[in-house]
Amino acid sequence: MLILLRRSPRPHPDRERGASAVEYGLLVAAIAAVIVAVVFGLGALVRDAFNSTGGCLSGNGTSNSCPTNT
C-alpha cells in the first residue's frame, strides 16, 4: 500500500496531446467568431457607402450626401 502512495500519478504523454488539440480548436473557434462579428458589424457600413457612391454616380445625386464640384 505504501508503494502505491509513494508513486506520484503522472499524466500519460498521450493524454496531453488531446488537451492541446482541444485548446487549439477553441482558439480557432474564438478567432472565427471574432471575424464573423467584424464582418457583420462592418457589412452595413460598407453597403451604405457603396449605395451612396452608386447613387451619386448614376445621376441620382440630388441629396446632400453627394459632393458637388464648384
Per residue in 5-36, pLDDT tens?
Answer: 566 666 555 555 566 888 899 999 999 999 99
Identify residue 30 by its one-letter amino acid code.
Answer: A
What pLDDT is stored for residue 62 in this prediction? 56
pLDDT bracket for residue 60 (50, 70, 90): low
Q: Work out how many domains the chain is built from and give that number.
A: 1
0.75 exceeded by the pTM?
A: no
Q: Is residue 34 part of a domain?
A: yes
Q: Residue with C-alpha cell 448614376?
A: 58
CA distances from 43 to 21, 30, 48, 57, 66 (A): 33, 20, 9, 21, 21
**Domain of 45, in residue numbers:** 27-53
Q: In which region does residue 59 sit, left (phi positive, over 0), alpha (psi from -120 to 50) or beta (all else)?
A: left
